[in-house]
Structure 1
């Protein structure tokens, strides 16, 4: 296996990111992966850690996928704009940049400027959240960090090299559309917005404007079943809650429970170690996809 570049890692913070679970995920990977799909890529902790040569990533968040494209195609120009944001960073400046999607300035900006805005707001906003209001406008407050790492040139350049030196396809749309090209023997990692662990209205359970409710979780299960029937290796991460265990009960023998600490609530009580599930449609020991 090709040696990994340890500088290749996420260039944004992401709620629900998988950095804590990388060892668990890698342990359960199927063997002999040739084509990798990640249709809920988010911050890309898994994809950027595994560094497969043939990869398709997707996200419904167009600002995020634009940032990936700019890191790939215009990394030096991106770094220059991020340096400007770093030099000007303050609470007032943050809110003036955040307001671009309120005063229609964002429609006049280049892809590079939009990507730099996205990364800047991510690095300086509260808890690294991406959250929008009912109008689709970012509404995360300023984070008041003393010295936020707004521009990490080494990581950005390493990510850009990886994206350019390998066969990486970047898509923006519905996760099911991103999986239309999968074939027998390919591997799909699914990291959807998690099922809520409580009914607390402050719980952060979705990243898109419309959220990801129980009906979407059911739809995801049907796609997971379709992948199984096609002979595609599939792995999914989610909350370890009764609703998810019930949905995926046919995969109970190939489900693992792992622990992670999550910072997705403004209350300190919401920053606890929680159980998560890794559901697989294959036996990781013998590499065989399970049969109905």
Structure 2
């Protein structure tokens, strides 16, 4: 079946893989069910376009937005169309998750808010504080594409016509039922390449080296189960040592989201896999 070229992420997400898709495509194996425990903006999911998949993210608002796009696309587009690209409006909407009434919002309202804030905030960066509240400043863009109807409807068509299960849980639980012949793509928060590069704001849970080591144990378990596993991470000595014994390929990637402009160049990242020659 031909792929839908209009299918692409509906939000910009830290660590997104759009720039590495051409490389990742070279290593996609044949599989039964596709698993992605750290789906984020879904660049790889929307590029592969599997007919059967289990996708997960620890961010409950993001997973809810995927479900809204699948189930309530017309209402979402209608709600998005009412937003204004104004600083005062932005901050009023951003502050709402600090209020008790926010919990009573519908899933459509919350998805619309997430997409709007993502399109209009500075650098399109999703970040929350330790209370789980969105805290990125206004981007002050002249004409942000708040309602990208073509992309949203392409995502709706794919998600509503394919067998896609959504989960909002720990990565280990997300792949608990993966079995022989299934393909698992892992794109965790990267091991920091410097002390100042540590980014944990995408969720309330930090992802330090203990979590990296726990993820490695999950990879070992998936390998023993006969699953095909592909993992992306930074090319640090720690990660390379952790995955000794697996096939490791070095790739060049641009870091678009980084507060330090001197670190926004081409850097080494790695792909780790348990298949291929």
TM-score (norm 1): 0.92
**What are the Cα deviations for residues 152-195 of structure 1, in whole angstroms up to 9, with x where unaligned?**
10111111010011101111111111111111010000000000
Gap runs ≥5 in structure 2: none
Range with greater deviation from structure 2 (264-273 or 119-128): 264-273
How far does residue 205 in structure 1 lie from its aligned partner after superposition? 4.9
Q: Give the superposition deviation at 1:203.
A: 4.3
1:46 paired residue number: 44
1:26 lines up with 2:19 in the alignment: no
8 Å contact from structure 2 (residues 125, 136) kept in 1 = yes
**Secondary structure in 2 aligned to 1:101?**
helix
What 5-or-longer segments of structure 1 have no aligned partner? 286-292
The CA distance in 2 between the partners of 1:95 and 1:105, in whole Å, is 16
Aligned match of 1:91: 87
Corresponding position: 1:220 with 2:215: yes
Given that 1:203 and 1:265 are in contact with CA atoms closer than 8 Å, whether structure 2 keeps it comes out as: no
Q: In the TM superposition, what is the alpha-carbon distance from 1:128 to its structure 2 partner?
A: 1.4
Q: 1:142 aligns with which of 106, 124, 138?
A: 138
TM-score by length of 2: 0.97
Shift of 1:144: 1.1
CA RMSD in angstroms comes to 1.1
2:238 and 2:200 mapped to 1: Cα distance?
14
How many residues in Structure 1 have an aligned counterpart in Structure 2?
277
Question: Cα deviations across residues 41-62 of structure 1 (Å, max 9, x unaligned)?
Answer: 0000000111010011000000
1:282 aligns with 2:250: no
